[in-house]
Amino acid sequence: MKPKTTVLSTTILSDNWGKLNKVKYEHTLYNGTVQVQEREVYNRGNGATILLYNKEKQTVILTRQFRLPTWFNGNDTGMMIEACAGLLDENDPEECIRRETEEETGYTLTEVKRVMEVYMSPGSVTEMLYFFVATYSDDMKTGDGGGLEKEQENIEVLELKFNDALKMMANGEIKDAKTIMLLQYAALNGIFKQQ
């Protein structure tokens, strides 16, 4: 028997930046057993993220910005080093990541490569994150980056040696899941191997 899920009721707990719902549902298991459960589901939309890399310089572009939830959870400064990312809004993932890259880092990309799609926290968040990689060069820098003032973004652009970024991941300076996944993707796929 194929599992089946039926929503019995939905209560909106918050509808601000995203929508937090309390959902009561009936779920039929493979063996036919029916369970009634309640869970909170946070829907903030889907997003996209990208690792910019330069083979010649052996570098990657990352960002640093304040993240309030990490501060609440013990990060003394709340500052996080991350790969460029953003919410899709109404855009497709590639269009979104090109726009976010320009806004956050100041680089205008020529080609991007989609490498995976990931549910980042499937126990409570609906978000699907689309992962990309792209090469960059100094002549692709068309702006300052730093994010949009109207979105109250204050983003620092970091150009790091790839090996330094891996060390920062290993020693805990980089704790962001999407960034770790992209750095590991680059390492596993030999992006920085000399040709």
Q: Which residue has the tokens 């820098």?
A: 141
pLDDT tens digit sequence for 78-126: 999 999 999 997 779 999 999 999 999 999 999 999 999 999 999 999 9
Low-confidence ranges of the chain (pLDDT < 50): 195
Task: Please report the pLDDT score of residue 195 as a whole number.
Answer: 42
pTM: 0.90
For residues 107 and 141, the answer to whether their CB atoms sit within 8 Å is yes
Query: Which residues lie closer than 8 Å to 110 by C-beta, 6 or more apart?
Result: 134, 140
102 is in an annotated binding site: no
Sign (positive/negative) of CA torsion 100, 106, 108, 114? negative
186 is in an annotated binding site: no
Q: Which residue has the tokens 């330094």?
A: 164
187 is in an annotated binding site: no
